[in-house]
Each structure stands twice: as structure tokens, then as C-alpha cells.
Structure 1
Amino acid sequence: MTSKLEIWDQWVDEHINYREPISLFDTNSQKKVTTKQHGRDNRPILHRSRQMEELLRMEGWKVVEDWKDTDDTYDGIIYIMYILDEDMFVPMYIGKAGKYGRDGKRLSANFKNIRTNNTKLARWGDGYAYHIGELSAVVLDHYDDTSVNRDRPPKGKYQRWADALFVSDTRQLSEPVYFWAKAWKKTDTGPFYDFETSLEPLEYNLINLASDLYPNRLLNSEGA
């Protein structure tokens, strides 16, 4: 009988070249994450690596072109933030950015101007309510800025990210953090039985597998 670890490893080996990992963040000579300014208030933002942005823009543009051409080849993007533990792939966060907006027809705002705009960037943008923007607000301590416009208090999700990724109250990473993303085709196969798997069940299945295999590392709460 095939174990969950074997199922996970087989899927990872098929889709992810983690032996040539792409860093999530840009770091300086002291291995601290660099910062940049963003927004009308010039607030500090953690800086993604150039390679990470290039990968995300490249895969995201495939989805945009697919929507423009109405080919319906891609569902959106699947992405994983991960670390390497003795060269083993260990997921820290699994997520997706679907192609369509809420009406099921228009292109999702997450892909708007993906080649030039950093605010949303397929869920990894600098704006509040996006991964880097929210994580920056925790790590760089500007959740209470007067420029923050929130419907409800900030969630603890990104505090957990900060605790897992950084040495306390610094921009120093606890260990190198990497990123993978792929424009997901409707004909691509998920981790179970080599069946064609659409983006939403793919994310669900991957989170379920990873939460069983890496419960002390995975930062997903929804779907786990």
C-alpha cells in the first residue's frame, strides 16, 4: 500500500525542481531580508527576490493570456513556500490564485497588471490583505499606522508566519525560505491516482497531505 509520504514525494518530484531552489526574499550580506518603500505613505515592505518575482510574473502571465484568448487551459496558479531540511522538501504554506474573479467570468484582480504592478501580484503583493504586505506589517511593525484601512482587526495568521520565518523582532531569517509556483493546467495531475485535478481540489489535497506529514511546519490553518 502506498504511504502518504510516497504520494507526496512522487507529486513533488514530478512538479517541483527544488534542487535549484528560488529564494522567496532578497537578503543582504548579513542574510537579513532587505526592505523597500511602498504606497503613498512610503511604508517599509519586505523585499521579494528578483527570481521569485520573475517566476510569479511568468506563470501569472500564462493565466492572463489564457483568459484573454478564452482557451480555458489554466485554472490559475498553485504556489508553495518551503524550506529544505537536509535537502528534503518541507512545505510551509500552500496556496492558490484562481483565474477568475467572483463572477466567474472576469479576470481575478490578483492578476491585474501582474507584469508591472506589485500591489497584488497573485496574492504575494505589497498591499495590505496580500501576503508580503501583511507579513511586512507584522515584521516591520506598522499594523497601527494611520494609513491602515481595515474592516476588522488583523488576523494572527501573519504573526504565525513571522514567528516561523524570522528570528524574534528582527528581519533575520531563521533559515533560508524558498518559493515555487506553477500555472496549473486543467489536464495536470494531482497527488492521488494520477487523475486530472483542477486547482481548488489540488490545493485542498496538498494541504491535507502536508498537514498530516509536516504538522509542526505547515502554516496553513484553513483546509488542514
Structure 2
Amino acid sequence: MTNRQSKEDVWEEWVRRTILADIQSAATPDPVPMVDDSGSELSMADEYDTYRLGRGSGDYLYMLYLLEESADGPQDVIPVYIGETSNVASRLMNHFRKLRDALPISEWEDDGSWGSYGKYDHIATVYERSASQLYAWVVNVDDLEVGPYGYPTYRHELEGKMVGLVHSLPRFDRVFANRDFVPNRVPHEMGQVGPEWVDDENEPSNEEPARLAELPDEKVTGESKTELWYEWVEKTICRDINDSEETDPIPLFETDDDLVVETKTLGSSAVLKRSDAIDERIRREGKRCVHSDGVRSGESGLLYVMFQLNSENPSPTDVVPRYIGKAEAYGKKNELSANFEEIAKDRSGTRSFARWGDGNYWHVGELSETVFGETSKKLSWASELFEQGTRQLEQQTYLWIRAWDPDTYPGPYGYPAYLAEVEPLLVGLAYEAWPDYLLNHNEVPGDAPANSREFEFRPVEDCH
């Protein structure tokens, strides 16, 4: 399969064969207005109420959107919010109530917190300042043969794909209200401006669309999502393993010859010790994203893959993904994320450490607490990585971690992708290729093994 379209083309083709097809079909109720403003108070439109109640439990993708009057082509559909749910009746009811409560937007007040201008304030601003009604569209993902890139999909993955596409298109910058799967920097900047964000059409577009537009697409040949995963691994993890100037693969933990993980003391607790090599790599890559005064321009954070190998000379099919994640340099509450403060300030501490820190809310800290029986937050990790009741790894475990740079690393579908977009894309592909091994709980189906299996681990009694 080759890429001959831009992301704009992919979006428009998707709209043409889904939303627009329903709008133009006499067999569907679309377009379905959300709000009835004919009375003294806003109420839910009858069409919207009937539309949401006509669906039982299922795997749904939905979109709130504006519609140009002609509705002739995909450019007339303007996405405002995209989500997924198993209970669309309840979710759409909640959206209406939250929208109603956020109106009129003239009463919005900035309380100084990061989230004071939230998604419902944003949706309310768009609704109030648009000449169009706000409409809702719902689809059962099981009724879709393929997603926007031409491959089968599921609702958790599809939401990330759709949000990534929309955020990549500059013309939707001011109206698109999603906060997940967009860079942390964007809602932070929205909060600095408030409702005026929607009116600033003459302001520069978001950084990601402007940067991605300058990059070429790459040809991908995978005819399945599994093949796409292996193709991406070959261009990234395997490439770095085979690069004589790099030290990959880098073990995540410091171990003895029997793969027993060493420990260190943090306060009164024992903590699993990361390898010196991975600490050095995390600092090196982190410094590409931040400096002592804050966030650098360019790379917006780190992408990482925890993995194991089935061969000493691995091909892409020998790389077994166990967890995929990201650490954004831009914080949700402050410009510099707490995950990067130690790296930015050259501190020796590693409590947060780009999400791989020793503290209670970070990967190694939570895994340590689980291994030593203090909590069960990382029960699936402990169960899958360690021999029962020991600190001995079942298999050497590595971490590939890089400052995400679309110039250097390709998006898995052949299109340049920003960090908050590429993470769910990769999770979806890795889940297709290795469903029984991937330990991600989010962006995978609710019945995925990571979410449905009964994991067990007998804690280590001797912490040292």
C-alpha cells in the first residue's frame, strides 16, 4: 500500500465516505442538530434526543461539528470535538448538559488554573460565535470496514487517529476543542487566551501543522497493521540497534548475570535500579527537549518503547513490544513539565525522570512498589517481567527512548506525525502484532489481554 495523499486528502476522503455520505442520504437522520434555542432557555433538540436514545451499548465514535449550509463537500464539515464511548446515549446527554452549563460564554471567568478554559468552554464559544448549528454524528465502529488510513481499526485507536488528523490541519486550529491526543502546549495556550482563542484567526497556526506540512510523506508497503508495525520497527528500533554509533539495545535495569535486578534505597523504601546506560540515554534525549529556562523549540518530548528480544541479532519480528508511551516536555499545569525538571535543572535526583522515575507516580517507582508488595499499580508489569516472588527478570528488558523528531523518525502510516499523535498510532499497531504481550491499558480495546487477564505476582519478601 502506498501513500499518494496528504493528511488533508485523507481527512476529506474519510469525511466524504462517512459523515457526508450520511448527511446526503435520505435513509439517515443526519445532520442531527444538538441544541434547540427557540425557547427562553436552551434545550436538547428532539432530533438529538431521539438520535442518542436509538442506540444501545456498542463501540461508537462520535463527532460534534459545524456544517456549512451547502453541505456539498467535505470542506463544509468542520469538526469541533471527537470522542469514543461504549454508551453513546449517556455520553451525548452529558455533552449537552455541559455545553448548556458553559453558556453564555460571556460569563466565563479565568480562575488562574491550567484547565479554567476547558473543552466545554471552548465548544460553547464555537457554538455561540458560529452562524451554524452544532450537529452530532455517531457511527458504530464495527460497521466500518477500515479507518481513515485504509486499515481495520477499533474505537480507542480510531479516536486518536481522527484527532491527530484534525490537529494536523491548520484550518481547524481555532474551533477544534479536543484536549487529548493534542500536545499539552495547545490547551495551555488556549487557557492563556480564553474565549478569544476562537477569534484569533489571524494568529499563526499551531506549531505542529506548520512543521509537519514541510515534511515529505514516506512510502509504506505493509498490507496489514502487523506489517506496518514491523516496518516502523525496522526504520527505528532495529536501525538504532544496528548503528555502531549508538549503544542500543539498552537494558532498562541494572542486573547481575542471572538477571536479578539491583536495588537502591530511596527514603525508607527499596527501589529497582535502572541501568546507568539508560539513565544516561534519558538525560541525553531529554536535554534535546528542555534547557535550564524551560522547553526548547522543536522536539516536544520523548517517545519510548519498552521491549524484549527473541534473538541476539534481531529482525523486526524479534522485537517484542511490552509498553509504548510518551513524556511531553510541555506540562499540563506549567510550561515545563514536572517530568523534565530534574533533567532541565541538571539535578541528580530521578524522582520523575521523564516518567521513568523512582517516585510513587512514575514507572519505576510504581513497579518497585508492586514488586515489593506495597501497591499493585504495576501488577501486569510485575507479573509479565519478573519471576514470581523475586527480582529476577524472566527475560532481559530494554528501553528505546528518543526525543521525537518527525524529521528523523517516520510516522507509522507514512505521514509525518507529532508526538501526541504517534503514540496511539503505534499502540494500535503493536496491539495488532503482539496482543498477548503489549501491557498498555489505554488506547487498546477493553477486552484486550492487558485489560482482561487476571495478572498475579507474589511480592518479594526480602527487598535487598
Partner residue of 1:118? 350
Partner secondary structure for residue 229 of structure 2: helix
For 1:80 and 1:107, locate their aligned partners in 2 and report how far apart those are by CA, in whole Å: 23
Partner secondary structure for residue 197 of structure 1: coil
Q: Determine if contact 1:66/1:74 at 8 Å carries over to the other structure.
A: no
How far off is 1:72 after superposition?
Answer: 2.2
For 1:51 and 1:205, locate their aligned partners in 2 and report how far apart those are by CA, in whole Å: 28
Partner residue of 2:380? 160
Partner residue of 2:241? 18
- The Cα offsets for residues 109-146 of structure 1, whole Å up to 9 and x where unpaired, read as 00012242210000000000100000000112233xxx
Instruction: Return 183-192 or 130-139, whichever deviates more.
Output: 183-192
For normalisation by structure 1, the TM-score amounts to 0.86
Q: 1:65 aligns with which of 260, 277, 291?
A: 291
Pair 1:48–1:71, CA change in 2 (3 A): closer
Q: Determine if contact 1:165/1:174 at 8 Å carries over to the other structure.
A: yes
For 1:46 and 1:168, locate their aligned partners in 2 and report how far apart those are by CA, in whole Å: 16
Partner secondary structure for residue 282 of structure 2: helix
Partner residue of 1:97? 327
Q: Any residues of structure 2 matched to 1:203-222 within 5 Å, and which?
A: 203-222=423-442
Instruction: Return 116-125 or 13-22, whichever deviates more.
Output: 13-22
Q: 2:360 aligns with which of 125, 128, 151?
A: 128
Name the % identity: 39
For 1:67 and 1:199, locate their aligned partners in 2 and report how far apart those are by CA, in whole Å: 22
How far off is 1:159 after superposition?
Answer: 0.5
For normalisation by structure 2, the TM-score amounts to 0.43
Q: 2:278 aligns with which of 40, 47, 52?
A: 52
Q: Determine if contact 1:78/1:184 at 8 Å carries over to the other structure.
A: yes
- The Cα offsets for residues 150-185 of structure 1, whole Å up to 9 and x where unpaired, read as xxxx54xx0110000000110011111011100012
Partner residue of 1:202? 422
Partner secondary structure for residue 254 of structure 2: coil
How far off is 1:3 after superposition?
Answer: 2.4
How far off is 1:98 after superposition?
Answer: 0.6
Q: As a proportion of its length, which structure holds more helix?
A: 2
Q: 1:30 aligns with which of 246, 258, 263?
A: 258
Amino acid at match of 1:99: A
Identify which of structures 1 and 2 has the higher relative contact order when contacts are C-alpha pairs closer than 8 Å and 6+ apart: 1
For 1:186 and 1:71, locate their aligned partners in 2 and report how far apart those are by CA, in whole Å: 16
Aligned length: 207
Unmatched tracts of structure 2, length 5 or more: 2-222, 243-247, 445-464
- The Cα offsets for residues 65-98 of structure 1, whole Å up to 9 and x where unpaired, read as 3974x65201200001000123311100000001
CA RMSD of aligned residues (A): 1.8
Amino acid at match of 1:22: I
Unmatched tracts of structure 1, length 5 or more: 144-153
Q: Determine if contact 2:370/2:382 at 8 Å carries over to the other structure.
A: yes
Q: Any residues of structure 2 matched to 1:166-181 within 5 Å, and which?
A: 166-181=386-401
Amino acid at match of 1:21: P
Partner residue of 1:184? 404
Partner residue of 1:7? 228
For 1:97 and 1:31, locate their aligned partners in 2 and report how far apart those are by CA, in whole Å: 27
Partner residue of 2:98? none
Partner secondary structure for residue 400 of structure 2: strand
How far off is 1:186 after superposition?
Answer: 4.9
Amino acid at match of 1:82: F
Partner secondary structure for residue 78 of structure 1: strand
Partner residue of 2:337? 108
Pair 1:71–1:138, CA change in 2 (3 A): closer
Instruction: Return 206-215 or 79-88, whichever deviates more.
Output: 79-88
Q: Determine if contact 2:306/2:400 at 8 Å carries over to the other structure.
A: yes
Larger Rg: 2
For 2:371 and 2:354, locate their aligned partners in 1 and report how far apart those are by CA, in whole Å: 21
Q: As a proportion of its length, which structure holds more strand?
A: 1
Q: Determine if contact 1:24/1:48 at 8 Å carries over to the other structure.
A: yes
